Amino acid sequence: MNNPKPFDILDQFAKFGLAHKLSLREPDTVSAFVKHASVEVERALADPTLLYGQRTEAMFEALAVSLGDFTLIKREDTGFVFPDEGFAVPDFRVVLNSGEQWLIEVKNVYEENPGEQRRRLMNLDYRRKLEAYSAATGAQLKLAVFWARWGLWTLVSPERLLDENGDLILDMFQAMKSNEMAAIGDRSIGTKSPLLLRFIPDPEKTSAIAEDGSVQITIGGVEIYCGEEEIVDPVEREIVWIFMQHGEWEETGPEAEVEGRILKAIQFRWEPQQHSEDGFDMIGSLSRMFSRHYAEATVENREVVQVRAPHRPDWLAPILSIDIQSAKLPLWVFVQQPNFEGLDGGIQADKGH
């Protein structure tokens, strides 16, 4: 497999040479650039605001790719813009399936107090520059905010939420009320509980339980259940595994199932703290599940260890697919309609199957 050409590093090297009036062909220029890059990387690693901001932008891109409910997505804030006065470039361009074009600015908000999730995100001057660029390129400006304390994503239209000075001071509850994440595929999901993961020992390779309670085990199979139904379809098993790993329900286990001195199964269980009376329980939103997945790949001990994680195209798309008609894995999929200008929004059912 051919290695991709090093366009990005050459671009940075060229900018360095131009700024310092150095020939790119001189051997000393390469060593000077390496030293410069080392200093800049150390400076970046010492700036948690920068690291979390870059991680959040990369997470939004990866989330959209995993949902797959768009025609095109592209990072917008790269390259040269002229004239630079009067314009600010949002982070991403998204072309919806409807043909609408959105330019999305991404922000990370972390407030330690869970009840005080509020931040000034755009002042008048900055917003006008973003809007000028959006108007010049024929797109609508949107703001995606990751509320890191809660692991929640919201997507809003800034012009609907301005204060009397034309600034955008946003709190999480206001953002949730007018949330437009559904336009790129975000949904809230319900299903039957409990979810069970059962490891079945191979009876030919597993010992009887000894007097001291020990047993030598070789796993012969893995069973997954939703409610009382075993899930055997590979796509449905992947969906349940996503719910188990990243959903809102509590995990308990391992539990041993024993008959006499024979270990029959080792079981883990996921279920909500309180069950509803509707025949299903909510397990969370796709965007919040994805933020948990992304955190596992990029954060350790509350420190960013990777800015990016590998893209998983259409990873969440099967959950949204109307082609899934399964009595064994019933899904209730809800779409949030944004509440604009005091109109009723709320949660409306998209489909149940």
Proportion of the chain in helix, strand, coil states, percent, rounded to 5? 30, 30, 40
Mean pLDDT of 273-280: 88
Q: Residue 93 has which token pair?
A: 């361009």
Domain extent listing, the chain: 48-184, 188-352
Residue with tokens 């994805």: 290
Q: What is the pLDDT of residue 342?
A: 56
Residue with tokens 């796509």: 235
Report the share of the chain in percent with pLDDT over 70: 95
Tell me the fold of 48-184. Answer: Trna Endonuclease; Chain: A, domain 1 (3.40.1350)
Any long-range contacts for 114-120 (C-beta under 8 Å, 24+ apart)? 114/149, 114/150, 117/147, 117/149, 117/150, 117/171, 117/172, 117/173, 118/169, 118/170, 118/171, 118/172, 119/169, 119/170, 120/167, 120/168, 120/169
C-alpha 76/C-alpha 62 separation (Å) is 15
Q: Does the pLDDT at position 344 exceed 90? A: no
Q: Does the pLDDT at position 351 exceed 90? A: no
Q: What is the pLDDT of residue 325?
A: 63
Q: Does the pLDDT at position 348 exceed 50? A: no
Band (3; pLDDT cuts 50, 70, 90): confident
What tens digit of pLDDT does each residue of 159-216 get?
Answer: 998 888 888 999 999 999 999 999 999 999 999 999 999 999 998 898 988 888 888 9
Least confident range of 68-82, 112-126, 228-242: 112-126
Q: What is the pLDDT of residue 349?
A: 45
C-alpha 73/C-alpha 77 separation (Å) is 13
C-alpha 179/C-alpha 215 separation (Å) is 52
Average pLDDT of the chain to the nearest whole number: 91
Q: Does the pLDDT at position 343 exceed 80? A: no
Q: What is the pLDDT of residue 347?
A: 44
